[in-house]
Amino acid sequence: MTEFEPRALRDAFGCFMTGVTVVTTTAADGRPLGFTANSFSSVSMDPPLLLVSIARSSRNYAQFAQAQGFAVNVLAERQKDVSATFARPVEDRFADLDWHTGTAGSPIIEGASAWFDCAVWQVVEAGDHAILIGQIKDFAASQEPGLGYYRGAYITPAQTAAQLPAGPDVVVSVILECGGRVLLLDDGEGGYTLPETRIGRDGLQSALNRLLSRTADDAEPGEIYAIYEGRDAGQQHIVFRCPAATTLAQEGRFVTLDPDTLKAVADPAVRSMLSRLAEESKLGNYGVYFGSHESGRVSGKWKGTA
């Protein structure tokens, strides 16, 4: 078996942006138990299944492996303290927590972005972890924004400056949209490119605000649309999709993403991303693309909604 340096492997896993959950169950003696996890995924719609993994070294492993059910609580962005509590070796993690017992019998945390109360479908041992597959018996979702985790730090939909990586190797780009058109700049070589800037010491949000004010006064900050590795080693690109009220621009111009325009975009990663955007706009699908840019090609996983 190939041996990897554990820290390096953990850092590589950390490149995948995830949500943060607290997985709970009720022990045989009635005690509520729980742990923080980001190894959570939907599995099936029919029957409705999900999975989460637990370390076999966990002090709660035996109780979860033998339990009849468990719940996955998707934490809201204001519940970082809850995440921290359930990640530490605290004697009673539920002591100062508002919670209730779900209809399927596991603890449900108040204020969560969503929760899923499950019966155990299957427990699969996998190396130093076990995969808990649950059949969803009850669930609920709220309007609370979820809490995320990326490269060892919490992130939120607001994307505050302190929560995302900063530095000269992080580039912020914007897709400014108005009336079905996108703002593109002359790349100096007869082609097109997106407006971009590097993150400075004042962080991501300030860099984004500077970039927007430089390009269009009426533009508003939007959501992260794509994250990918650039052609330069170690360079990370974060792309925001932002609305503009008019097509008046201080630099560049708003253009339709037709085939001729896309061909004029020199950077393969940007061209691939804008091509995907053009197709989604036709279909009415929106989502976030997480990928890598290697040797002029883009690969990755697409998360979208219809």
What is the reported pLDDT for 299? 32
Between 231 and 241, the higher pLDDT residue: 241
Q: Whole-model pTM? A: 0.55
Identify the residue whose tokens are 């090609």. 297
Is 287's pLDDT higher than 80?
A: no
Is 242's pLDDT higher than 70?
A: yes
Q: Kindly report, residue by residue over 254-280, the tens digit of the pLDDT.
A: 999 999 999 999 888 899 889 988 887
Question: Are 194 and 247 in a shared domain?
Answer: yes
Cβ atoms 50, 135 nearer than 8 A: no
Domain count, the chain: 2
Q: Which CATH number is 85's domain given?
A: 2.30.110.10
What is the reported pLDDT for 285? 41
pLDDT band at 224 (very low <50, low <70, confident <90, very high): confident
What is the reported pLDDT for 282? 65
Q: State the residue range of the domain holding 93.
A: 6-149
Question: Are 218 and 137 in a shared domain?
Answer: no
Single residue among 89, 119, 149 that ends a domain in this structure: 149
Q: Kindly report, residue by residue over 141-178, the tens digit of the pLDDT.
A: 987 888 888 877 777 765 444 445 555 578 889 999 99
Is 89's pLDDT higher than 80?
A: yes
CB atoms within 10 A of CB 232: 10
Most confident option among 1-5, 43-47, 198-202, 216-220: 43-47
Q: Which residues contact 29 (CB under 8 A, 6 or more apart)?
A: none
Helix (H) or strand (E) holding 285: none
Residue 185 is which amino acid?
Answer: L
